[in-house]
């Protein structure tokens, strides 16, 4: 009990980010809970000021809460420094592991090693230190910044983005998103039934990498140039087919690979077709089995679970242990204690008595505490790997501190992402896949990771592969503008915040582009009230906020995905008429951003079905995550490919790939009137220039003024017009688009049901 109380105290003051605590926490540390500093002063001391923690030359100013900022004069050459509290070395922090190059950012540890820095020129440098998060930064002061007058402080320095080489621009791509296990079955030998929601004949793990590779021509025929796959790393849970319950980040799940076809073969197959690979990565949490070889989460072997009134059904006829394992063990963690590991290779029936070391009770025993098999005691987790703050509940979902330090669910255990060992483990794994040829990374559950902490991961991946495009999911079911207004949660958990580096939650321009992009949930949140009803009302209000993002042209746009849809409180796959879906695609393929299509949208697959299991007895075949392979068999492709939406998306992809302005240009001249929209896409000062008009269900006569003069050709109809008075007028048929390209190539593609 005393041990648990101490852990609770430690977490309350947020010191679980620290690998070791050098002294008993003072009563002043309780100020963390109230957002106040625990110290009278914090200074930087090092080789540049004689290692004197009391001198004025290293003083920092407490600017807000637990954040300290300041400027120091540094000489050219190599220096070393640390942070010290209250003018002495009694309480100090260092970091002997971070690279010496600037701009510098890291996590300090109590009594850690000296921080080394390479100073390329003598001058002023800005320093920040957050005593709660223990995050510090050091970078040159912007010479354009006005001098500090003692009354105001510049925005806190943030990690500089690592630029993507200009020859590799992911905005040129369009994305096809698949749940690999539900797409196409290329190898029945690796099929697998999870122990929850079993449907005989429809194994949860059904599709695989071999099957996906077999259907690359299908994806390419639609015009997609990138495939986003759900996390392929080895998973563990009662329902882990989706890939978001990682158990071993360093291995591809064997239920996805075949003896003659591995992940690296899949990547090569994609590249041979000119298709890029986007790998989904989970940084925030692990499965409830811990991490293989690193950390074990205390529980009993599941093959000993017994419950009255339950008869295990095929294929779990003996018990709930892994039916494909000789010893029916689903937890082969080498980090497990000896008593647990002894049963990994014995007692397949789960009948030999085993004493629970926590209670002394011998199992198997009917109706023995199910939490010992399935639950997680948050207070007994290893703080080196996990946060110990319990589970998210109630109002926690709009609270940054709770979101970023609590567990989402019993099978998603929140990693201590600020700890260096966690960073080293995940980063080294991601680098394996980047070296293997992965082109882009999608990060799951972004708002559950503090932004600056997440950027340390992202920038590390970009150091490994500068061309990698990285975007993430900061889910919000609203416009998500945070402290800018009209929201019920702060900016720190909203999508735009992660694309910026500033410290002012009400001023996106307080920092530049972070180099990290996001899924455009703000735009998506309006679809329930506009395109799904056959109009464009409200689109203008979202586009008008594009300035808040680091680079709005790199947003990833979508109509629905594996979690949410535009219908009925975001719960269902779109269930409306096909022409309304066509409106959505017309919008997404012509406005700023990178369009992404969820598998099956092209055939109205599982139209109106819940995106995920929601009822007590639902199985995957009744949801938006049903198996898609039946539509992809050669005999069925003759019916699939002519589907009006398939044809529509194929043409949109062709048009977008032909017109660079539709890929990379910002938007201007935006006008929205419910039944129509018009705007201009101007790339690189006229290098590629397009005037776009979209119509809802009825035809629209559209005029756009202030455009460049010259000859325009409509990519949809092939009609041409010469503009000499900076005004262009044209008609757009219902459900169609006018895409008037300056010096354009002419009509692109053939007419379908919607574009004509």
Q: Tell me: the pLDDT tens digits for 174-190?
A: 999 999 999 999 999 99
> What proportion of the chain, given as a percentage, has pLDDT over 90?
83
Residue 319 has pLDDT above 70, yes or no: yes
Asked if the model's pLDDT at residue 12 lies above 60, the reply is no
Q: What is the fold, at CATH topology level, of the domain defined by 2-140?
A: Immunoglobulin-like (2.60.40)
Give residue 21's pLDDT: 34
What does the angle CA 391 – CA 393 – CA 399 come to, to the nearest 5 degrees? 95
Determine the average pLDDT of the residues in 118-147.
Answer: 78
Sheet strands side by side (includes 556-558): 517-518, 469-472, 440-443, 276-281, 226-229, 175-178, 594-598, 556-558
CA dist., res. 649 & res. 602, Å (int): 7
Q: Which residues have a Cβ under 8 Å from the Cβ of 399 and sit 6 or more positions away?
A: 489
Mean pLDDT for 329-355 is 96
Residue 124: strand, helix, or coil: strand
pLDDT value at 22 more than 80:
no
CB atoms < 10 A from the CB of 2, how many? 6
Residues 33-87 pLDDT 10s = 445 788 999 999 999 999 999 988 899 999 877 888 999 999 999 999 999 999 9
pLDDT of residue 38: 85
Over residues 630-664, the pLDDT tens digits come to 999 999 999 999 999 999 999 999 999 999 999 99
CA angle 189, 180, 265 (to 5 degrees): 70
Residue 50 · residue 105 · CB < 8 Å: no
What is the chain's mean pLDDT, rounded? 91
How many angstroms separate the CA atoms of 437 and 458, rounded?
Answer: 17
| 3-class state of residue 682 by DSSP | strand
What's the CA gap between 257 and 265, in Å, rounded?
Answer: 10
Q: Are 714 and 742 in contact (CB under 8 A)?
A: no
pLDDT band at 3 (very low <50, low <70, confident <90, very high): very low
- What gap in Å lies between CA 247 and CA 444, rounded to an integer? 15
pLDDT band at 29 (very low <50, low <70, confident <90, very high): very low
Residue 142 pLDDT class (50, 70, 90 cuts) = low
Are the C-beta atoms of residues 416 and 17 closer than 8 Å to each other?
Answer: yes
Q: What is the per-residue pLDDT for 101?
A: 85
Domain 180-289+384-599+652-656 architecture: Alpha-Beta Barrel (3.20)
290-306 pLDDT tens trace: 999 999 999 999 999 99
Burial of residue 352 (number of CB atoms within 10 Å: 0-12, 13-18, 19+): exposed
Residues of the chain with CATH 3.20.20.80: 180-289+384-599+652-656
Highest mean pLDDT among 87-91, 110-114, 276-280 belongs to 276-280
Partners of 79 in the beta sheet?
117
Domain with CATH 2.60.40.1180 in the chain: 666-742
What is the pLDDT, as a whole number, of residue 638? Answer: 92
What pLDDT shows up at residue 132? 82
Q: Lowest mean pLDDT of 97-101, 616-620, 669-673, name the range.
A: 97-101
Number of Cβ atoms within 10 Å of the Cβ of 309 = 6
Comma-separated ranges of CATH 2.60.40.3620 domains in the chain: 2-140
**Least confident residue range of 165-174, 386-395, 563-572, 685-694:** 165-174
- Taking the C-alpha atoms of residue 411 and residue 476, their distance in angstroms, rounded to an integer, is 22
CA dist., res. 583 & res. 674, Å (int): 12
pLDDT at 205: 98
pLDDT tops 60 at residue 449? yes
Burial class (CB in 10 A: 0-12, 13-18, 19+), 607: middle
- What does the pLDDT average to over 659-686? 97
Find all residues with CB under 8 Å of 137, minimum gap 6, and list them: 103, 104, 105, 126, 127, 128, 156, 157, 158, 159
Q: Which H or E run contains 94?
A: strand 92-94
Q: What homologous superfamily does CATH list for 666-742?
A: Golgi alpha-mannosidase II (2.60.40.1180)
239: number of Cβ within 10 Å: 15
Average of pLDDT values for 312-330? 95
């Amino acid at each position: 009990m005393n041990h648990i109380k101490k852990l609770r105290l430690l977490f309350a003051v947020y010191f679980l980010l620290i690998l070791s605590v050098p002294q008993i926490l003072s009563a002043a540390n309780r100020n963390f809970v109230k957002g106040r500093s625990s110290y009278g002063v914090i200074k930087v001391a090092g080789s540049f000021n004689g290692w004197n923690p009391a001198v004025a030359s290293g003083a920092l100013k407490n600017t807000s809460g637990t954040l300290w900022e300041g400027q120091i004069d540094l000489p050219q050459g190599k220096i070393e420094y640390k942070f010290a509290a209250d003018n002495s070395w009694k309480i100090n922090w260092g970091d002997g592991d971070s690279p010496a190059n600037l701009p510098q950012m890291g996590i300090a540890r109590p009594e850690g090693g000296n921080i080394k820095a390479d100073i390329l020129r003598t001058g002023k440098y800005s320093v920040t230190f957050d005593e709660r998060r223990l995050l510090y930064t050091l970078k040159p002061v912007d010479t354009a910044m006005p001098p500090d007058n003692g009354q105001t402080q510049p925005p806190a320095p943030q990690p500089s983005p690592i630029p993507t080489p200009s020859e590799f621009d992911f905005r040129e791509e369009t994305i096809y998103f698949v749940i690999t296990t539900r797409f196409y079955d290329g190898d029945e030998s690796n099929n697998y039934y999870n122990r929850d929601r079993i449907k005989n004949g429809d194994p949860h793990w059904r599709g695989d990498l071999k099957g996906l590779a077999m259907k690359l021509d299908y994806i390419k025929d639609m015009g997609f140039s990138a495939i986003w796959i759900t996390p392929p790393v080895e998973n563990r849970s009662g329902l882990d087919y989706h890939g978001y319950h990682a158990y071993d980040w360093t291995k591809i799940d064997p239920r996805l690979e075949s003896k003659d076809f591995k992940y690296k073969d899949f990547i090569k197959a994609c590249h041979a077709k000119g298709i890029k690979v986007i790998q989904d990565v989970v940084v925030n949490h692990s499965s409830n089995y811990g991490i293989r070889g690193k950390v074990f989460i205390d529980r009993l072997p599941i093959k000993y679970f017994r419950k009255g009134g339950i008869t295990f059904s095929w294929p779990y006829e003996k018990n709930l242990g892994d039916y494909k394992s000789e010893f029916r063990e689903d937890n082969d963690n080498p980090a497990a204690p000896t008593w647990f590991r002894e049963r990994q290779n014995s007692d397949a029936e789960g009948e030999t008595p085993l004493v629970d070391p926590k209670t002394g009770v011998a199992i198997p025993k009917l109706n023995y505490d199910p939490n010992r098999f399935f639950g997680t005691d948050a207070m007994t987790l290893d703080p080196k790997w996990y946060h110990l703050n319990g589970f998210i509940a109630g109002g926690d979902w709009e609270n940054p501190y709770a979101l970023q330090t609590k567990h989402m669910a019993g099978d998603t255990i929140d990693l201590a992402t600020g700890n260096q060992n966690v960073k080293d483990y995940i980063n080294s794994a991601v680098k394996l896949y980047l070296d293997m040829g992965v082109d882009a990374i999608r990060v799951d559950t972004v708002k559950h990771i503090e932004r600056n902490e997440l950027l340390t991961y992202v920038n590390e991946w970009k150091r490994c592969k500068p061309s990698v495009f990285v975007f993430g999911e900061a889910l919000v079911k609203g416009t998500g503008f945070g402290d800018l207004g009209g929201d019920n949660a702060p900016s720190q958990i909203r999508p735009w915040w992660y694309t910026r580096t500033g410290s002012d939650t009400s001023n996106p321009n307080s920092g530049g582009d972070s180099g990290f992009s996001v899924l455009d949930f703000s735009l998506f949140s309006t679809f329930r009230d506009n395109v799904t009803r056959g109009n464009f009302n409200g689109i203008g209000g979202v586009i008008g906020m594009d300035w808040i993002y680091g680079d709005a042209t790199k947003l990833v746009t979508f109509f629905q995905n594996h979690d949410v849809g535009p219908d009925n409180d975001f719960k269902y796959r779109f269930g409306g008429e096909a022409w309304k879906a066509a409106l959505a695609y017309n919008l997404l393929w012509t406005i700023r951003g990178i369009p992404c299509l969820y598998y099956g949208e092209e055939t109205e697959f599982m139209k109106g079905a819940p995106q995920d299991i929601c009822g007590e007895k639902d199985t995957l075949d009744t949801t938006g995550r049903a198996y898609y392979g039946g539509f992809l068999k050669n005999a069925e492709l003759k019916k699939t490919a002519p589907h009006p939406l398939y044809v529509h998306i194929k043409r949109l992809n062709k048009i977008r790939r032909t017109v660079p302005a539709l890929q990379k240009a910002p938007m201007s001249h935006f006008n929205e009137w419910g039944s129509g929209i018009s705007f201009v896409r101007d790339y690189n000062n006229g290098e590629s220039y397009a005037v776009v008009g979209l119509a809802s269900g009825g035809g629209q006569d559209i005029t756009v003024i202030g455009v460049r003069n010259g000859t325009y050709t409509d990519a949809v109809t092939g009609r041409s017009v010469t503009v000499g008075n900076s005004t262009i007028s044209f008609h757009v048929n219902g459900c169609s688009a006018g895409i008037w390209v300056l010096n354009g190539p002419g009509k692109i593609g053939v007419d379908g049901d919607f574009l004509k």
